[in-house]
Structure 1
């Protein structure tokens, strides 16, 4: 059997993934069983990056070893062998929360609140020691046989974008627990861990993350751009989940407030329901080895030094009342994440329907998870007036909508010709057929948009994706327009696509008139044009739309 650093004898494998292998091992010096994580660099990583990765993992694992708390897996040692770090940890026997949810289904709110409070206590201890977890999710929460709730993998999966590869089968789980600021490429703080805790609590009571989509890219976009559906089974836990899942880090519940409310729910009470003011809970500063630590004592539960309260985040103005303009930051963040995570590229977002030569715009996933539990609702008999529970209902059809610009700018004589005016392409995808989608094109200004809802039919056995086009052409001479457009869905579920910017600049002078038509004299002395009606008028209305099945 292999012995690491002359001390840790590897016995058998506990788990294996792209970043390494977790072994059950025996500490030959102290005569106890431990868990040893063998860390491997992603395949193809240059030597210089590999060395920096190992150095960073070693440094952060040593920082994590400073955390002493009953809800944190203890890091005993960082052993160097074969020029790479081996992380030696406490061996905790039990099931992960992910395994428990898979075996037993969603947890009742009180039990989920108890688990969340223990995880929150672990995060408080870590943040006070200057350590971020960065990968809070059910697979990293152990429900130990002795009754403890233990947060694992502290300081190990700490490289941006590679944490989803820590254990077998966890790749699809991590992106949906990632905080928006991390998806945008911003430097994370303690609030990023609290967002992940909010997603974990949602998954604990609903059985599925609110942001899970078919691909990691779609999941990350949903995290940034979409609000989660209210949890149907959270009960008194709902206000806590809402307080943790605020997009802006400054507006989330602090670890202290969240833990207090979770313990209240776990004891059978109800948390405060009014939302806290923006900036009311200042995040803890997180540093390296020289950062704050020890203020909470060995247990990590003592008082925290007062921190400056940041000013409230200014609310959006009228021109920003729509979806935040985070698209380019999101694209940069996703690109950075996926380049490290193993070579996923934007080729997955190929333009599958446009022939205009423009660059593809990634789809914004706006559907609810199709695997979310459905709720049985009571049905009322029209004849007897009695109410009886109905059978479990089928979840509504899931809808994904996205919009990209074919042409987003026009300058010239107005009204713009149809082949030069701003034009947009939308993709509407349903998870099953038959389905009928009620939609309309809407502008942020409310001008030049659909006055009525349209319908798009997906026949049974037909394609699950259809394309729509839209041309904004009805602008008079002299108009100066800067606006945004999106596709809105009303049925079978309410969904909205991403906003797309466009502009129209009309010349003051009207286009030169065409040659006068030939005329013929009439008995009354009047004139008539050939065909009996004026010709050459462009089509009116706010625009044109067409639906095309995806080939």
Structure 2
């Protein structure tokens, strides 16, 4: 191992040489004091191994040293791809906040990574700027550090009675001991976007107790710089996970901003939510005895997150803090909480969470252009289509055809196959003359769709009958959630502008089958 690239609560990352394959890699050395190293290494490796996405770090191997081996015997290491470039936290520290368009680009990439992870049942649980890498030269965004991820079928630290994560980026339902789902990662993304735009999380406070109070109760005030992305940030930072903005909707809004410079207010997000106001705090009828120990103020507040709450603060030089019913213990010793001042807010011992709201109504479809309607197909996917198009099928595909039969929109879904989208499209192009009479000007281009690897096949052909005349086809194929999706539009040459508009609208609005 060569240079040290970074250090967190569970391990140290080094630059190293893979002598067998002649390449540089990143090696994460697990800290023994962070728990059973082999168990942690395998949990992280298994989490990442289930996720194949261009914006998720690639794990090559897990290496364990025998206890009677080298001087550092018993250590475990995760061998990963080397991403040349610092973290988003490094970038914010050295260059300050990023612009709105760059924040949107980062958000789109991370939403794609999270959607793929969540489809595999993997929750990251520690999304923050320090765990997002920005590749130098290409600007590629890479989500890393799945050390505390929740993986299907595996026990986690939190399931053993403790809490792990970074408080400033942790969802309130996790702070309150409730079960966490994909919505918790989306809250963290909302806090991360605020940090990217302003330099710090909106929940940053001078004390850990202040952070917990800010997450659970305080008004949420997005930074002024978030203005153009306010519908996204506010939707992600909705305290009730049942009403939180979903990944598909958030990605659609960010892509709309990236394309147009403005973000529409979704119909399912309140339009007047400048700040989230906390529920009222009940003041006890009898005053708190003045002789109570100083630690009692912290004990009362600990009701919000449960007794014996353990928070592992990841990041360079971070301490491990233990919150119990009394003092706060840090790596440097024990520190007693300061006694509350005369002007302090009332204790929260009598506060109880409000009853859960009734289940929200089904969210309406995303906004679509005039002349289009949002269609939920019986095969499970959904997309925006021009008014009046009629559905037909064959053994493998779904078609939507205009009333005059001139324009056709096709959709095919299947399991992901070897060779990926680019290989499939190249094979189709090679068979183009056999499947499309008068096939010409065919071209296959590697591209991306919502941050995922994709391929575009474009060609001209004669149509199936003379009445049809020469036609042009746009066809995009991509992998998502372990499925391969293929969407195309075919139209007469004289109506290419209309065809391209239909094609772009179908792709932008497409929602894959769950």
Tell me how far 1:79 sits from its aligned partner: 1.8
Work out the CA distance in 1 between the residues paired with 2:27 and 2:11.
10
Distance 1:353 1:138, change over 3 A: closer
Match in the other structure for 1:291 = none
Conserved? CA contact 1:162–1:341, under 8 Å: no
Match in the other structure for 2:450 = none
Conserved? CA contact 2:183–2:241, under 8 Å: yes
| 1:145 aligns to 2:136 (yes or no) | yes
Conserved? CA contact 1:183–1:333, under 8 Å: no
Work out the CA distance in 1 between the residues paired with 2:177 and 2:140.
31
- 2:48 pairs with one of 64, 67, 71: 64
What pairs up with 1:107-122 in 2 under 5 angstroms?
Answer: 107-122=98-113
Tell me how far 1:59 sits from its aligned partner: 2.7
Work out the CA distance in 1 between the residues paired with 2:306 and 2:52.
37
Work out the CA distance in 1 between the residues paired with 2:202 and 2:327.
26
Tell me how far 1:352 sits from its aligned partner: 4.9
Secondary structure of the residue aligned to 1:403 is coil
Work out the CA distance in 2 between the residues paired with 1:341 and 1:185.
19
Distance 1:41 1:162, change over 3 A: farther
Secondary structure of the residue aligned to 1:101 is helix
TM-score (norm 1): 0.49
- 2:179 pairs with one of 162, 183, 187: 187
Secondary structure of the residue aligned to 2:238 is coil
Tell me how far 1:41 sits from its aligned partner: 3.4
Conserved? CA contact 1:107–1:204, under 8 Å: yes
Match in the other structure for 2:63 = 79
Work out the CA distance in 1 between the residues paired with 2:17 and 2:307.
41
Match in the other structure for 2:311 = 337
Work out the CA distance in 2 between the residues paired with 1:72 and 1:329.
36
What pairs up with 1:169-188 in 2 under 5 angstroms?
Answer: 174-188=166-180
Match in the other structure for 1:403 = 346
Q: What is the aligned length?
A: 300
Distance 1:324 1:98, change over 3 A: farther
| 1:234 aligns to 2:226 (yes or no) | yes
Work out the CA distance in 2 between the residues paired with 1:64 and 1:263.
26
Work out the CA distance in 1 between the residues paired with 2:92 and 2:282.
34
Q: Which runs of 5+ in 2 are unaligned?
A: 66-72, 150-156, 271-276, 284-299, 314-318, 329-334, 351-514
Tell me how far 1:63 sits from its aligned partner: 2.5
- 1:347 pairs with one of 310, 327, 337: 327
Match in the other structure for 1:249 = 241
- Structure of higher CA gyration radius: 1
Work out the CA distance in 1 between the residues paired with 2:170 and 2:122.
17
Match in the other structure for 1:136 = 127
Distance 1:400 1:218, change over 3 A: farther
Tell me how far 1:97 sits from its aligned partner: 1.4
Tell me how far 1:192 sits from its aligned partner: 0.9
Secondary structure of the residue aligned to 2:50 is coil
Match in the other structure for 1:104 = 95
Work out the CA distance in 1 between the residues paired with 2:307 and 2:140.
32
Work out the CA distance in 1 between the residues paired with 2:164 and 2:199.
22
Match in the other structure for 1:284 = none
Secondary structure of the residue aligned to 1:337 is strand
What pairs up with 1:46-61 in 2 under 5 angstroms?
Answer: 50-51=35-36, 54-61=38-45
Distance 1:265 1:57, change over 3 A: same
Distance 1:351 1:157, change over 3 A: closer
Q: Normalized per residue, which structure has more helix?
A: 2
What pairs up with 1:278-357 in 2 under 5 angstroms?
Answer: 322=280, 329-332=303-306, 335-337=309-311, 341-345=320-324, 346-348=326-328, 352-353=338-339
- 1:13 pairs with one of 4, 17, 21: 4
Work out the CA distance in 2 between the residues paired with 1:144 and 1:351.
42
Conserved? CA contact 2:48–2:57, under 8 Å: no
Conserved? CA contact 2:13–2:29, under 8 Å: yes
Tell me how far 1:227 sits from its aligned partner: 2.5
| 1:33 aligns to 2:7 (yes or no) | no
TM-score (norm 2): 0.52
User: What is the CA deviation profile of residues 349-386 of structure 1, one whole-angstrom value per residue up to 9, with x for unaligned ones?
Assistant: 957557xxxxxxxx9xxxxxxxxxxxxxxxxxxxxxxx
Match in the other structure for 2:401 = none
User: What is the CA deviation profile of residues 478-502 of structure 1, one whole-angstrom value per residue up to 9, with x for unaligned ones?
Assistant: xxxxxxxxxxxxxxxxxxxxxxxxx
Distance 1:80 1:214, change over 3 A: same
User: What is the CA deviation profile of residues 49-81 of structure 1, one whole-angstrom value per residue up to 9, with x for unaligned ones?
Assistant: x44x64254134223122111111111112222
Distance 1:405 1:202, change over 3 A: closer
Distance 1:214 1:230, change over 3 A: same
Work out the CA distance in 1 between the residues paired with 2:346 and 2:32.
38
Cα RMSD, aligned residues only: 3.5
Tell me how far 1:401 sits from its aligned partner: 4.1
Tell me how far 1:342 sits from its aligned partner: 4.2
Distance 1:145 1:330, change over 3 A: same
Conserved? CA contact 1:138–1:200, under 8 Å: yes
Secondary structure of the residue aligned to 2:29 is strand
Moved more, 205-214 or 59-68: 59-68
